[in-house]
Structure formats: C-alpha cells, structure tokens
Structure 1
Amino acid sequence: MGGVQPGGQFRPLENGDPAEVAGYRLAARLGSGGMGTVYLSYTPGGHPIALKTIRPELSEDAEFRRRFRQEVQAAQRVQGLHTAPVLDYDTEGDRPWLATAYVPGPSLASAVAEHGPLPVPSLLLLLAGTAEALSVIHGAGIVHRDLKPSNVLLAADGPRVIDFGIARAADATALTGTGVSLGTPAFMSPEQAAGKEVTPASDVFALGQVAAYAARGTGAYGDGPSHAVLYRIVHEEPDLTGLPAELGFVARCLAKDPADRPSPAALVKLCQDASPTPLRQSGSWLPEAISAQITQRISASERLAAPPAPTAPLTRVDRPQQHAAPTVAVPPAPPQAPPQPVTPAYGHPMAPPAHPSPYAQPGPYPAPPAGPYLQPRPAWQPPRRPSGTRRALGIIAGVLLPLAGCTGLLYAVGTTGSSSSSGSDTTGSASAKPLPDPEPVRFTSINIPDGYYIEFADSPPKPQDDDVEIYESDLYYYDDALHSAGDRIVLLNNAQKGSLKTCRDETRYADSVSLSQLSKGSQLCVHTDSGHIALVTFRGTAAESDPSDYVSLDLTIWRNAEEASDS
C-alpha cells in the first residue's frame, strides 16, 4: 500500500485521480491494490476516513457488482474494536466505492519490512487482537478469505483488520480465471489453494502465517514463485525455525485439516496463557519507532483535514440531481437577526436521518441532511413515468373541448395524452404507431433481483427498488415471472428471429411471461407506454447455491420506436 512517505507526509493525488467521490473530498493517496485505489478523505465533521474506489475492470463485471453489494452490506454488521467498520458505500454507481474508518497506522507488512520482526509482547497482543477481530467477522457470517500482513493495520490501541469478505466478490469475476481464487498465495490455506470450500478455519490458517511473518519477517512456507509456495502449503509441513517459544501454539493454526485448528476464541486464550502478564492493549504496545510513525500520520491527516477554499460551489456529478441545487455561501445575517446555519458547499440538501446514530440499527439508512454522510445512500431514482400527467391532461381536455369548440385544441392535447373520444382507456396496441427506425442500443448481463425493475430510458438500465411503483415500470421481475407495465410482452417462438420488425409485427400480447416458459436464449419483445421497444434475451437465473434470486438478461432497445400511448 505505502501511502505515507518518509516524515509522515501522505502521497499526493496523481494525474487521473478524482478530486472527490460522491461529495467526499479526496486529500491524498493511501495506496492501491488488486481491487482498486484507497484515498484519504474526511467526513463533513472533519473525521478522516479511508475511501476505496473499485477498478474499472471489476466495476464492469455484473457478477462482481452483485457480490460486492452483498459483501458490503454484510460487512456493515461488523462493529468490533479490532476492525475498521464500513461507514458508507455506493455499489450501484458507474464507479463503486467503499468508505471505512481511517486507521492512522502502518500495515503489519510495511512495519516489519521497515523495522523488522515484532517483540514477543507485541506479537501476543497482535495475535489476540486479530483473533478477536476474526471472532466478530465470523459472527457476522463472513469469511475474510484474504487475511495477510497488508490487511492488518497497527493502531495506537491495537491491530485493525480491514477488507474482510470483499475478496469473495472478486472471486466470481472473469478476471480471476477459471479455477483460480483471488487471494495472496503465501497466506492461503491448503483448502483455498486447492479450490475447496473456504471456511472460518481458513482464516485461522492465514493468521498462523501472519504470526510467522510478524515474528520472523517471512512466512512459514518460504518465498519464491506462487505455484511453488502453494505446493508447499498443500503438501509440506511449515518451517517455524526461529519462532519464539511463546508462540509454539501457532503450529496448530497451520494444521492441514481445518478441524484441527483452534477457533479464534481459543487463540485469544492461548495468547493470554503465553503472556507472563495480563494482556492489555495500550498506547505503548508497539516498538517506539512504529509508535512514532503513528503520531506522524495523525499529525499529517490533521493538516490535510481543512479543505481549500472553494472558488465555486461543487456539484455532485455521480448521479442526476434529485433535490435542490447545491447551496452557495450565505451572506452574514444582520446583527439583529439570529445566526443562519451554514450548509456544506458539497452535496445537496436531503431529508434528515431517521436515526440519531448510523449504528442505531442495521442499514440501509435514510438520506442525511446534506452532503456526504456515514451511511449508505439510497439508490438513484430514474425519472418518474409521466403516465399520470398524460391522464390528467386528457381529463382537462374532456372538460375544455366542448367549451372551446376548437379542433386545434383537440390536436394539441391529443398528442400529449389519449385521444379516445369515448373517454375509456385505450390499449397500447390501438394507439401506438411505428416511427422511423431508431438505432438500437445493446446491454448485456443485466441482473434483475426479485422485486426489482428497470427502465429502458436509462443508460445502462440499472435494477432499482426505490419508491417508484414497480407496477409502473418498463420491465420487472416478480413472483417467478417477467412483467411490464405496458401489458405488451410477446414471447417469440424458436423459429422467429428477434428484430425490430418482428417486435412491431407481433401482437400476441401478454402482461407477463413465467420463467417456466423460458429457457436459455429465449427472446421476448416488450413494448412500453413511452414508445420504447426492447428485445429481451433470457440468459438464466441464479444458481441454486446462490443466496440471491435474480434473472440475467441481454437487452436490445429501440427508443422512441413508436408513438407513446396511455394504457
């Protein structure tokens, strides 16, 4: 990671780094790795946080996004003293990101590389604190899967474990390759290296490797090419030469059989038994040189906390505006008037939170009063469908036309709403007329969870579950079927070739199609009230072992392919 230079100065932002993410001002680089880049940022109240942006290659993978969302939401439940809790995130935007508490200390990897192995008292406190963190992480139903020295940070009051569970999201992406698990080979368990089931006992094995590294500066299976280290992990016994006698129990962590390894709670007890004095985390648990580094980092983060004076108010650019525009500086109130509250210059006003604390109950939480806040944001809301407005205009026209006696008014209102002279609702097929052929836009691997919907006007269409009625959407998945508010879905037969002409010609409309009627490659035509036509190709559903329920679709959309109608 290496985010701090000699003297405690943080590495500045580089060309191509964003200046802010979702209203959070980025102040410096903390490091980068296989998942993305980590930046130092601050809350509106000035508390430092670590904000990680995900690599574009991972962001474009639909399966990664799905798992990343699951893992982040699960990680929110972890609130241990030896973990860096998840504070805020966005898993749906163009560039997903995750914010955690900032730990002003070096990683175990950099501390050992710079200052050498830790003394025995520090080692016992390190292992006890990390084992306690694993107990909390496992208690939340999470397996870390990538515990290593760079994911253990050394704070003044004990170690902090970071990045728990997030590696599982990347395991499913095409980037990892068939049969290969994401992780650091030197710290993998034998079962993980062999592609078998990964359990909490796998994290205990990794902790044994971390202990050997902290005590000797090298792992228990040596160095060299990854495949050679993995072979030794699976087939050979660990080399613990030079390990302090007080840490003899570490050999049990490195047992080949997961059932033979101690639990994290048992490890804490082993550390206590090995210590001649009671274990107490304090500001003096680390060697003096590492403690000095922590002090330098705290001072450096404080110096960067104050943002530069803005020349103009900042505007959130990560999603469309939903509320009032960003505020500008308010002139001082007259002496006789009460002082006016100042709204931060970034973000835009939102409803006040329902809970006094972001940890009062499990997320997701309501939107904050303004700007970035330490809680998940609500999903972006697509523009509401104007069907209710069109109906209202049609009613107004029915009242005004007899009075006006003007055919021009009939034409003007008829182009906006339904022109049915009977006053009854017309079907979409009766009023929709073909328009010149638009250019198609194509999207692949759109995963729609049960109870979610998409709108064809969005680019790309993103599954939504906000307060817009699902029954008014262009396409939604519910109760083992695909539905559309336009009630005009056509399931093509195997002999038909999906195209704009085929979708225009077919009138075997249904309001839904059951998944039992679909197989991989099945195609459907969907007509919307707003005039869009989509060719939907069914790609399958979630695997039986997957905790989610979703359908995977490819979309070809012809926007404004026919006149809008009111169903």
Structure 2
Amino acid sequence: MGSMPSADLFKPLQENDPAVVGGYRLVAVLGTGGMGKVYLSYTPGGRPIALKVIRPEFSEDPEFRRRFKQEVRAAERVQGLYTAPVIDSDTDGAQPWLATAYVPGPSLAHAVAEHGGLPLRSVLLLTVGVAEALHVIHRAGIVHRDLKPANVLLASDGPRVIDFGIARAADSTALTGTGVSVGTPAFMSPEQASTGTVTPATDVFALGQIAAFAAIGSPAYGDGPSHAVLYRIVHEDPDLSRLPAELLPLVSRCLSRDPAGRPSLTEIIDLCHELSPVALRQGEDWLPQAVAGSITERLHLPEPAKTPPPQPAVTPTPTEFSPQNPAPGVANPYAPTGSAVSSAPTQNAPRVPGPVPPPGSPAYPPQGQYVSAPGYPGHPVHSAPGPHTPPPVTHAPYAPASRQKPKRTGLIVAASVVGVVVVLGVIGSLLSNGTEKDKTKDDAAASQGANSGGSNGSGGAGTQKKTDPKPVSYPGIDLTEGYQIMLADNPPRPVEGEDLAYGNGDLYFSVVRFLDEAAIGTANGKFVLLNNTQKGSLATCRTETRYTEKIALTQLGDGSQFCVLSDAGHVAVATYRGKSGDREAGSYVTVDLQIWRNAEEAKTD
C-alpha cells in the first residue's frame, strides 16, 4: 500500500469536534464508543497517542467523575508489555479525557471480521499475551469488566489490552440504566450478567470467550438480541463444536459458570504452553500475513496539523496600553478561543487553557504546565524565548503613548468618596425604616419554605432548601472477607478488592489472622458507631461526630447500628446481623443497609 493514510482508519475532524484538548492538537478521529470519542494526536516529541474524550452525559455525573479519577490513577500504575500505557489525563475538566499510547494495529474484532478466525499458534500467543496483561491489571487492583475483542489490539509484537478499569466508573452512573450500555453482553460472565458481581474471575471468563472468538470467528454463545445472549450465558453451555480440539481444555475451563472453577492466569499461561505443538515465542510472525498487513496500514498516520485552528477575528478595544497577555484574535493569532480548548492536567491540578503552538510545530502544552511523556514524569515547560514562544506583547494601535492627557486622580478619588458617603446615608435611612417590615416578610417566607420542604423558592430571598433523598433499604447483604461495597451501586454488591484500607470501598470486611482481628472498615469516608439508645437515621448520622474508620467485630452485637458517611456524599445506616460460623467455608458478615444517596455534598480532593 502507498504512504497515504487510509480515510477509513483516520476520519477527519467534524465541526463539533474540538481542535485542541488539554494542549494536544487533534488530528483525526479513531473511533466512537459508548463512553466517548477517540482521537489521534501527538506528544510534543512527535509520538502518536490515542486521546479519549468522555461523553458529556457521563461528565455531568459526580459519582462517575469520582470513580473515573480513581480508575485513571490506578491505570497509571499499569505498565505491562501487553497493555497500552496511560500517557496523560484530565479528570477534573469540563469534559474528562484520557490519553494512551497509540497502538498501530487492528482490534481483534476488526481482524476477525475482515479475515476470519486465527490459526492455533496465533490464538495461543494471543491468549498468553492477554493473560499477562490481565495479571498486571489485576495486580494494580483493577478488574477490566469489559474485556472484549474490540478492546484487544493486535500489534506487530503481540496483543495490547486497552480501556481497563474505565467501565467500573460508568457502572456508577444512572445512565447505564437509561440506554447507555457499558459492557458487551456476548462477553459477560454469568455472575456479571445475573447479579452484577465482578471479580478477577470475571475477566478470566471473558478471556475464554476471546480465545474461542479468535479461533472460530464468532462468539461462543452466539449472536442475537442482548437478552437472548445473556440468557444463554447464564443458563446454557457454549457452542464449542467448531473449536480446535487443542483449545477445548483451555476454553471449557475458562467458561465455567462457577467462578471458583476457572483457572488462574498463571495456569492459563502454563496450559497454553502445554497445548502448543511448538514453543511459544512472540515475534513479528505471530499473526497471519493478511492481518499483519492491517498493522502496516495503520503505521501511515496523518501528519500533525501545521496551521493553528481557525480563530474568529476580534477588533482590539482602544486602551492606553495593550494587556499583559494579548487577547485571542488578531493581536495574538495563536491563542485558542471558545470550545477549542479543554482544560489539561498538571501533576496535582487541572490545566488552564493556554496558547496553541505556532505553525509547523507539534502540539506543545501551554507555558508553565506539565505534560507526561511516555515513560517520563511531567516537567514544567519554561517560558524562555525560543522558536515556539508566542508573539511578543505590542502596544495597541489606537492609543499612542506620546499624547497622554494628565490624569486628575486626586479629584476623582475625592468626588468618589463624597458620593459613596451620601449614598450610604440614604441607604441606611431606608433600611432603618423598613427593618421590622422586612423581618416579618422574611420570617413568613422562611416558614413557607420549611412547610413546603424547600421545593420552591417563593416568598423569601430565592434560596431553595435541598430536599433530602428518599432512603433505599437493602437487607441481608453478606460481605465476604476481603470484599468491599460501594454505596452508589444499586443494589450494593460486594466486590473483591486489594489493599482494602487504602482502596476506595465505602464499606469493607477484613480479617488479620496473625492479630486475630476482624473488623469492618471504610477507605472512602468515616463511621459513627451508635449506642443502644440511638435510632439510626439520616438526622442522627448528620449530627454525630464520634468518627472512626474501623469498627472491630468485638464492638458489635446483633442489631448494632453504625453510620457510614461516604466522601462521595452518600449516607447509610448499617445494622450488623452477625458473622459466619467457624465451620462455614468462607468468612463473612451480614449487614442491613439503609442508604440516602447524594444526601451531602461530595468531597473533592
């Protein structure tokens, strides 16, 4: 193929696409998904990146933002050979975004759609690579949740897993129940499809699905409406009749409906080596020639834009001197305006809009900001003069400095002071005459607002009293040792976590064996243990200040209550119902939860 990039792979920007995001100039559209749009851009050093801008619908959800920030931080710790590393991000701007290394290769979904199933050696190398990627992802405390062929890219030296952890943030928003789909039904696990339970074993099930899809060229549970596919996943066995015999032991174990029956990632890697007739080594020949041609095609990237985005003409306002920083427009053609700029992150805070680089240069970040390049920590871009320094400040053309009129500053200040004194005297007289009347009206308005529950602002100063959310009850939740609960989940389901005390769980149960210590704790808020005379309620939880982050089981009896005050703004009353018996296989506690979601303002970092 020629050196020109394919129009099918790199679609041009449309009118509604921003020209610059976080200091990165966008070059082309790579794709659109359920959570956002992915663009091609370049680092200042010219390395291509894939920049995903989250959809506005998700951006407006505070719980999504909180979780997205946590997942991005965790994803930044994932540095594996078979993952696309996170390069930069902004989780606090008007529209959050995430930038990863660009992988020049088709997705598994695209490759199978174009060329059919892969040969045995390619499938085994694919499975080994994805298993290694999952091992690194899980070690960072992340469960992918949406592992599917579209999220596995085929590079020249092996697969790359992308979009790990982002689906968890989307699970927190109400949009997932109103037409916005997160997760692909054909590749969900039975427990994920039926109860929403997600553990590392969920990703193992999806890996088995991916291996089968790569080998036979279609999903193991067939196609069709989502509800029909999910029913088959939960209640029926997969159709593996076309699967090569060598892969049957591996795939059938991964697709066990019982999560405990699935192999570990280490077992999967060992099994792949045992099943392969030749030694498995990743190399340039790991894919069929036809699929490898798709990689070559994706290496012919569009060049970075050489001209700044179009700017509206702005007529300078006559001033005595031009401002310290020229306004966007004619005086400073390289300063971005309007929606062409999204805020970009620094190491500790979001970036502020800055100038777009001049023609012929890559998309340098604004001066004084930080940009993380691949493998390097961010460093400030200093404002020393150079070829990329914005144009110097010049005097405005309408105010020659040589003919300035003398300023009568003293007279102006004196006149202003006299005027202010007179006005204040008149206002004071009026206020003293109307104090009692206004007080009566304000009291009546406050009384009316209280009686109406704050649903309208009539009769007062226009302030509205926030209506308390209605509580939702969840009785009999079994919280297993090592698992955590998020109050935002509906219903709240225990999810396995790592480093519970330093994680993000609103409520977790842990046991330290060598200390013989069992406790319920929180890593995302605080507890208040109520005494026997107190009734658990939203009002009680708001007024009590005897805070703690961990309650030993020895402090609890059947019926004991404690408040859970989440940093996300959710409030819950937990009623302890006891612990599992010593003879039972697992260790868990049972609690009833009554949750008031978004009862308080969320805390920000």
Equivalent residue, structure 2, for 1:162: 162
2:14 is the counterpart of 1:14: yes
Matches within 5 A, 1:29-428: 29-177=29-177, 182-248=182-248, 249-299=250-300, 301=301, 303-305=302-304, 307-308=306-307, 312-315=333-336, 317-319=341-343, 326=355, 347-350=365-368, 359=375, 369=382
Equivalent residue, structure 1, for 2:321: none
Aligned CA distance change for structure 1 residues 329 and 204 (closer, same or farther; 3 Å): closer
Aligned partners of 2:48 and 2:236: how far apart in 1?
A: 44
- Superposition RMSD on alpha carbons, in Å? 4.5
2:126 maps to a residue whose letter is L
**Cα shift at 1:211:** 1.1
2:290 maps to a residue whose letter is A
Aligned CA distance change for structure 1 residues 367 and 440 (closer, same or farther; 3 Å): farther
Equivalent residue, structure 2, for 1:402: none
2:131 maps to a residue whose letter is A
Aligned partners of 1:263 and 1:80: how far apart in 2?
A: 18
1:405-433 CA-to-partner distances (Å, cap 9, x unmatched) read x99879989x9xxxxxxxxxxxxxxxxxx
1:288-324 CA-to-partner distances (Å, cap 9, x unmatched) read 111111111111x1x4235336783133743599889
**Cα shift at 1:442:** 10
Aligned partners of 1:199 and 1:328: how far apart in 2?
A: 45
| SS class of match (1:12) | coil
| SS class of match (1:298) | coil
Identity of aligned residues (%): 57
Aligned partners of 1:541 and 1:35: how far apart in 2?
A: 28
**Cα shift at 1:541:** 3.7
2:165 maps to a residue whose letter is G
2:25 maps to a residue whose letter is R
1:188-208 CA-to-partner distances (Å, cap 9, x unmatched) read 000001124211011010111
1:144 touches 1:167 (CA, 8 Å); kept in 2? yes
1:27 touches 1:41 (CA, 8 Å); kept in 2? yes
1:92-125 CA-to-partner distances (Å, cap 9, x unmatched) read 1111111111111111001100111111111111
Aligned partners of 1:252 and 1:479: how far apart in 2?
A: 41
Further displaced range: 171-180 or 201-210: 171-180
1:252 touches 1:260 (CA, 8 Å); kept in 2? yes
Aligned CA distance change for structure 1 residues 439 and 12 (closer, same or farther; 3 Å): farther
1:465-503 CA-to-partner distances (Å, cap 9, x unmatched) read xxxxxxxxxxxx99999xxxxxxxxxxxx9xxxxxxxxx
Aligned CA distance change for structure 1 residues 120 and 408 (closer, same or farther; 3 Å): closer
1:323 touches 1:349 (CA, 8 Å); kept in 2? no
Listed as ranges, the gaps of 5+ residues in structure 2 are 311-332, 345-349, 384-413, 424-459, 469-523, 529-538, 546-567, 575-590
2:40 maps to a residue whose letter is L
**Cα shift at 1:228:** 1.1
Aligned CA distance change for structure 1 residues 444 and 298 (closer, same or farther; 3 Å): farther
Aligned CA distance change for structure 1 residues 442 and 77 (closer, same or farther; 3 Å): farther
Further displaced range: 157-166 or 179-188: 179-188
1:516 maps to a residue whose letter is T
Aligned CA distance change for structure 1 residues 278 and 16 (closer, same or farther; 3 Å): same
1:314 touches 1:345 (CA, 8 Å); kept in 2? no
Aligned partners of 1:347 and 1:6: how far apart in 2?
A: 28
Aligned partners of 1:309 and 1:241: how far apart in 2?
A: 57
Aligned CA distance change for structure 1 residues 247 and 343 (closer, same or farther; 3 Å): closer
1:89 maps to a residue whose letter is S
Aligned partners of 1:106 and 1:257: how far apart in 2?
A: 33
TM-score scaled to structure 1, two decimals? 0.61
Equivalent residue, structure 2, for 1:454: none
Aligned CA distance change for structure 1 residues 351 and 270 (closer, same or farther; 3 Å): same
Aligned partners of 2:258 and 2:192: how far apart in 1?
A: 12
Aligned CA distance change for structure 1 residues 233 and 329 (closer, same or farther; 3 Å): closer
Aligned partners of 2:48 and 2:122: how far apart in 1?
A: 26
Equivalent residue, structure 1, for 2:406: none
1:314 touches 1:347 (CA, 8 Å); kept in 2? no
Aligned partners of 1:57 and 1:324: how far apart in 2?
A: 22
1:504-550 CA-to-partner distances (Å, cap 9, x unmatched) read xxxxxxxxx994359xxxxxxxxxxxxxxxxxxx964489899xxx9
Aligned partners of 2:98 and 2:260: how far apart in 1?
A: 34
Aligned partners of 1:343 and 1:438: how far apart in 2?
A: 54
